[in-house]
Amino acid sequence: MTDLSRASVAETARLVAEGDLTARIVLDETLDRIAATDPGLNAFSVVLADAARDEASSRDQQREARGPLHGVPIAIKEELDVAGTVTTFGGEANSTPAAEDGEVVRLLRAAGAVIVGKTTMPEFGAWPYTESVSRGITRNPWDRTRTPGGSSGGTAAAVASGMVPVGIGGDGGGSIRIPSACCGLFGLKPQRGRVTTAPHPHLWWALGTVGPLSRTVLDSALVYDVIRGSRPTDRFSAGGSGSFVEAAQRAPGRLRVGWSVKPVTLGIKPDPVHVRAVEDTARLLTDLGHDVREIEPHYPDPTAAFVPQFFAGIRTEADAVEHYDRLERRTRETYRLGSWVTPRVTEWAVRASERVGAKANRVFQDIDVLLTPTMAHRPPRVGVLDGRGTVASSLAAMPAIAYVALWNVAGNPAASVPCGLAADGLPVGVQLVGRTDDEATLLSLSAQLEQARPWPVVAHEPR
């Protein structure tokens, strides 16, 4: 009997396709796991049980034109539109349900997925810890006293605990990679513009992307092959790329891998656990036949490009909500502190991203892939944001984003790859950064690492 809490996207889809299970059976078991597990984690903000049952039953009645995700339960981060549910952005400022699915959700349904619910996030995804006044604290399945990271922390907790095989998150400054590292998942931030943001023209201007958090590299590739592509309304689009599934299934060849534990952010010191993880991964890559060496990346400072877009992203989303007065006090403070970010400043910052990206990409003149820690610190205890305003919260976020935010500014694909568990019982992840438009190399190399150093697919019984 298959343990569906541990089943991958690929395995779940295969079992349904071959008739071993129905979509409704898979869905019912998923809802049972959510009911049993989520009260201790707070991963879901809403569970769409009745709608999901109807959707799963309709999948079972469908005999032809079944998609690659047929019958697979998927969770969606709060910032994406799901028809009939309120797009809350993690707070209480909206009250009207979305009339239509966002484009990513529409594509998932077209591929046969069953949308089971929406996942928690800090309001507007502003912080790398999933805590809010409205939704409370979301906890790490590996240790409920610790954060799952953020801002896609609800999605990470849902997947890592085995409630769903995959979930959709977003990454405007590390928000796919940080919770993936905290929860032992594979999380690829795609190239800027690889995945549509429709109906919105952008997600936090040049910073944000949408993508899955998954337990295997192949599962991520399967979902990306369904949702990738841009629309005429998208401000950004990525360059051409072949099948991500094919990339995840082929050997990467001999690559030049440069590694560094130097943070982009000055004054941040990486935890020794993360330094060892990078060094161990470098040795493993050498054993796998790659040309691996320590390098000096000469990172550019992304602050002048990142900060205005951070404020502009929050102000743009806050301007669009129905009830501004219901926003959290910290969010309203952030809105006021960003009043200097006029449209002219925002456009300057978007152009500055291009300049930062050009400097950051000089590292790839001599290497194919950059290896770094994903985060500087270990997952901290929950309550990171308690009582903190915008400035204090920003300082608390620095160790989480010290290695990742640059690549949102530059636009490059970057992935957090699990390395197993540390002595503290929590997962460890390292970051692989690729050339512009080169998700394929990251998927191939990550799959090779996954095979050589398998990672736990579901969190053990939490402490």
Q: Which residues are designated catalytic?
A: 77, 151, 175
- Name the packing angle between helices 303-320 and 343-360 (round to 10°): 140
In order, the DSSP letters of 278-293 are HHHHHHHHHHTT-EEE
Burial class from Cβ neighbours inside 10 Å (0-12, 13-18, 19+) for residue 304 reads middle
Residues 363/370, Cβ–Cβ less than 8 Å: yes
Distance CA(208)–CA(148), nearest Å, equals 20
Q: What 8-state DSSP symbol labels residue 136?
A: E
Tokens of 55: 């959707």
- Name the packing angle between helices 439-452 and 217-227 (round to 10°): 160
Distance CA(327)–CA(255), nearest Å, equals 48
Distance CA(161)–CA(11), nearest Å, equals 17
Task: Report residue 232 CA to chain centroid gap.
Answer: 24
Distance CA(207)–CA(410), nearest Å, equals 8
Task: Report residue 336 CA to chain centroid gap.
Answer: 28
Q: What 8-state DSSP symbol labels residue 191?
A: P
Q: Which of 40, 116, 43, 106 is nearest to 75 (CA)?
A: 116
Task: Bin 205: left if φ > 0, else alpha if -120 < ψ < 50, else beta.
Answer: left
Task: Bin 229: left if φ > 0, else alpha if -120 < ψ < 50, else beta.
Answer: left
